[in-house]
Structure 1
Amino acid sequence: MSFMVANYVSANYGWLKAPDGCTAQVTLKPGKNQDGYMTNEDILSQLKVVAALVKEIYPDNNHYFIYDNATTHLKRPDGSLSVRCTPKEESTVFGVDISKRDSEGSIIPGEKQQMAMHGASFNGEPQPLYFPPDDGIGMGKFKGMERILAEQGIETTGLKAECKKFKCTPPQRDCCMQRILYNEPDFQNVESNLEILARSLGVQVIFLPKYHCELNFIEQCWGYAKRLYRLNPESSREDVLEKNTLEALDAVPLVSMRR
């Protein structure tokens, strides 16, 4: 059995909770034939709830939400610029993989489909990455990195498309076509879905560095709660698992969060 809790906590105020007891806490039972795992859409929905809640409780504060560097948090809009698997030459089949959805708009687990990548920009001007459908030569094909870079005045003669597994040797910035494109501002500055939504809600999102040290205060919360949970008698009942987990989390004192 597994039980997952997603919530918001502050070292100043503790677990986020309105005077009437309302919270942004989400619980689920992950796994096959259960609730699954939290998706990016779930996280976006939770942000909408928490943004409204903090504005109600702390209307005079600026609100920043800190997330770790998880793929689920960093997901970008479908079709966002990406150099991964970008071909050197023209291609009729290149696109970015997105989750396939059913007729009701729900994601079909494990199934993907392709869509055209969004246009880039160069010197402040739009730069289409695909030939127009009525172009006599390209006819809707992806232009390929070689042509895209040539349109920017970048010489690529003799340059390989990609360093092995895109593991370029630092501090190289022009060792391969993918690395050059990767360092372009329009490829670098693609915002995540969380950042876009947060801005529309009047709050801000900060992502912790990748592989960040675990010595942040949230670990104090989990550690204290796990210690309390393990004091309970073992049980195979789901309702007991849920009850003991939530009670252990609620019992974490503010002073322990701040240590």
Structure 2
Amino acid sequence: MIIPSLGIVLARPLCEWTPQHWLLKLGWQQTRLQKGVYMDGHECDDHHMVHFEGSELLHVDPQLAPGKWKVIAIFHDEWHIIHVSGFINVEYGWLVHCDEPGNIVADAQEIIYPGANGDAWWNTEQLLKQVKHAIQIFKAAHPHCIALFIFDQSSAHASLPPDALKAFEMNKSNGGKQQKQHDTVIPDTNPTVEHHGKPQKMCLPNGQPKVKCSPICPWENEDCCMACLLSKQDDFTDQPSRLKALIKDAGHECIFLPKFHCELNPIEMASIFYNTFEEAKQCAVQQLDACPTEVIHRFINCSWQFMSAYRMGLTGKAAEWAVKKQKGNCQVSHSAMMSIEAVLHVAS
């Protein structure tokens, strides 16, 4: 039974009314359990990562197979008003490089003061420059390790290179002011089998951009024109962003969190409090630096727990309940998941 499996001894058994009302309080309805947020974690093997277990945050090193490198997750986030773009290292707190006495000699954090009379507004170019610097800091601080950079969803993070394949930005005629797009290889999912794996030039021999296939439609829909069909080809849909390409080319990994799920990014839990712009400029760094590494580890464990709960299919109040019950671990236990599923099975 569920209650004994959780180590709870009751003076008298529960009636059917109690678990039904408990499920309603958690936000569940009498329906089939559906999958919630999905985050592709195939590049995020937690067996290669350090964990912090229990209420005392016991440091647990990964058991690496021969030839495998340790993976260190690096979460990124940005604060506005004054613009702070920072990274936290799941093992050591803020991403920095220290000398032997422990003095910080390089910091990945960037702070600007954008506005009419201030710095230029933060954009993709500034982010890429910062990430290059962050990669250098990581390499110096953690040789023989792989960084897993974790970002929120934003237009800057998804920005494609200037020569990206964009079917709906090709002109109706060759040449012109349209952007030149890079050559590609026809994917194996193309309907014409004999073309699989063949190179596809996106410019004419004279260097002019090629024309878009016709007929032409002025908007994107399912299958009205060749441009729409072309845009659905794997080489058009599976293009890495400039940010991801930069990180992958440096030998590291990069993933993006689902939209509207700040609980998956522990750096979101670090707050800055201020009343005026001038006060913000003075206290931002001080407040961020004052956040203890132990607190950062607890924030990170909380995010790992939510990720684990979502992978198991929990959503809403049920995911929050599971995370609260697993404060000492970095993952939601299967026993907790089985308990919830068992109650749902009885209720349905």
Show the counterpart of 1:254: 296
| Unaligned segments of structure 1, at least 5 residues | 97-115, 134-138, 147-159
Alignment of 1:1-259 (within 5 A): 2-19=81-98, 20-21=103-104, 22-87=106-171, 89-93=172-176, 95-96=178-179, 116-122=180-186, 123-133=196-206, 140=208, 142-146=210-214, 161-162=216-217, 165-166=219-220, 168=221, 172=222, 174-209=223-258, 211-218=259-266, 220-222=268-270, 225-226=271-272, 229-230=273-274, 234-235=275-276, 238=278, 240-252=279-291, 253-254=295-296, 257-258=299-300, 259=302
Q: Distance in 1 between matches of 2:197 and 2:136?
A: 36
Give the equivalent residue in structure 1 for 2:77: none
Displaced runs of 4 or more, over 4 A: none
- 1:95–1:117 Cα contact (<8 Å) kept: no
Count matched residues.
205
How big is each residue's C-alpha offset from its partner over 1:112-169, in whole Å with a ceiling of 9 and x where there is no partner? xxxx222333222222234433xxxxx94632223xxxxxxxxxxxxx634x742x3x
Identity level (%): 23
Q: Which amino acid aligns with 1:93?
A: G
Q: Deviations over 1:166-225 (max 9, x none)?
A: 2x3xxx5x443233111212212322222222233222221223x342222336434xx2
CA distance in 1, matches of 2:236, 2:297: 43
Cα pair distance change 1:199/1:5, threshold 3 Å: same
**Equivalent residues of 1:94, 1:142 under 8 A apart:** no
Bigger radius of gyration among the two: 2
Q: Does the CA contact (< 8 Å) of 1:3 and 1:29 recur in 2? A: yes
The TM-score normalised by the length of structure 2 is: 0.52
Is there any run of 5+ residues in structure 2 with no aligned partner, and where? 1-79, 187-195, 303-348
Secondary structure in structure 1 of the residue aligned to 2:115: coil
The secondary structure found in structure 2 opposite 1:66 is strand
Q: Alpha carbon RMSD of aligned pairs, Å?
A: 2.8
Mapped to 2, the partners of 1:18 and 1:129 lie a distance apart of: 44
Q: Do the aligned residues in 2 keep the contact of 1:66 with 1:207 (CA within 8 Å)?
A: yes
Q: Give the Cα–Cα distance (whole angstroms) in 1 for the partners of residues 268 and 162 of structure 2.
A: 36
Alignment partners' CA distance in 1, 2:86 and 2:152: 13
Q: Does the 8 Å contact 2:158/2:242 carry over to 1?
A: yes
**Alpha carbons of 1:59 and 1:93: their partners in 2 closer, same or farther (altered >3 Å)?**
same
Separation in structure 1 between the aligned mates of residue 244 and residue 297 of structure 2, nearest angstrom: 31
